[in-house]
Amino acid sequence: MTPDTDNAATTIDTPHIQTLLQRHEATTRPRLETLWSFYRNPMTTAPSDTARGTAQRSTRVRLAQERGLPERLTGPRDAASDDRLPSSREIVIENDIAWRIHTMVDFMFGRPVSIVSTARDGQLRSRINALLDSVWQDSGGVALLADIGLLGHVYGHVDLLVRADEVGRIRVEPIEPTRGIAILDPDDYRRIQAYAIRSSRVHIADARPATSNLPPRGLTRWLAGPLSPRLFGSREQGPIITELFTADARRTFIQDKPDAAARLIDESPALVRAGDDADALGAPPIAHIQNISQPFRYEGLSEVEPLIPLQNELNTRLSDRASRVTLQAFKMYLAKGLDGISNMSVGPGQVWCTDNPAATIEAFGGDATSPSEDAHINEIREALDKASGVPPLASGVVRAKIGNLTSENALRVTLMGLLSKTARKRVTYGRGLAEVSRLILLAAHRAGILSTEPAHRGVRIEWPDPLPRPESDALDAALKKIALGIPRERVLSELGYAPTDPGIV
**DSSP label at 128?**
H
**Domain membership flag for residue 23:** no
Q: Which pLDDT score is estimated for 185?
A: 87
Query: Reduced to 3 states, what is the DSSP secondary structure of residue 394?
Result: helix
- Lowest mean pLDDT of 30-39, 136-145, 316-325, name the range: 316-325
Q: What is the mean pLDDT of residues 112-120?
A: 91
Task: Please give the Cα distance from 319 to 124 (Å, whole number).
Answer: 62
3-state SS of 322-338?
HHHHHHHCCEEEEEECC
Is 502 part of a structural domain of the chain?
yes
pLDDT of residue 278 exceeding 80, the answer is no
pLDDT band of residue 16 (cuts 50, 70, 90) is confident
Whether residue 147 is predicted with pLDDT greater than 70 in this model: the reply is yes
Residues 340-357: tens digit of each pLDDT? 777 777 777 788 888 888
DSSP 62-111: EEGGGGGS-HHHHS---TTT-TTTTS--------TTHHHHHHHHHHHHSS
Residue 147 lies in a domain: no
Report if residue 485 sits inside a domain. Answer: yes
- Decide if 476 is inside a domain: yes
Q: Give 475's pLDDT tier (boundaries 50, 70, 90).
A: confident
For residue 48, the model assigns a pLDDT of: 61
Is 493 within a domain? yes
Q: How many residues comprise the chain?
A: 505
How far apart (Å, rounded) are the C-alpha atoms in residues 392 and 386? Answer: 11
* Percentage of residues of the chain with pLDDT beyond 90: 42
**Nearest partner of 151 among 68, 30, 32, judged by Cα:** 32
DSSP secondary structure of 335-360: EES-TTGGG---STT-----S-TT-E
pLDDT at 230 > cutoff 50: no
Any domain includes 319: no
Mean pLDDT for 7-22 is 74
Q: Specify the range with the lowest mean pLDDT, choosing from 51-55, 87-91, 317-321.
A: 51-55
> What is the per-residue pLDDT for 273?
64
Of 281 and 176, which is predicted with more confidence? 176
416-446 vs 122-139: helix axis angle to the nearest 10?
A: 110
Confidence of residue 88 (pLDDT cuts 50, 70, 90): low
Distance between CA atoms of 29 and 38, rounded to whole angstroms?
A: 14
Q: Which residue has the higher pLDDT, 6 or 312?
A: 312
Residue 481, pLDDT score: 85
Whole-angstrom distance between the N-terminal and C-terminal Cα of the chain? 50
Domain boundaries, position 485: 471-505
> Based on the structure, what is the number of domains in the chain?
1
Q: How confident is the model at residue 459 (pLDDT cuts 50, 70, 90)?
A: very high
Q: What is the pLDDT of residue 81?
A: 54
The pLDDT of residue 128 is above 80: yes
Residues 6+ apart with CB under 8 A from 315: 65, 66, 68, 69, 92, 93, 94
User: Residue 485 above 80 pLDDT?
Assistant: yes
Query: Which pTM was predicted?
Result: 0.79
Mean pLDDT of the chain: 80
Four-point Cα dihedral 441, 442, 443, 445, nearest 10: 90
Of the listed ranges 51-65, 205-219, 434-448, 481-495, the least confidently predicted one is: 205-219
For residue 432, which of 247, 105, 186, 174 has the smallest C-alpha distance?
Answer: 174
pLDDT in tens, 407-443: 666 677 778 888 999 999 999 999 999 999 999 999 9
Quick one: pLDDT at residue 244? Answer: 92
Q: Give a yes or no: residue 484 inside a domain.
A: yes
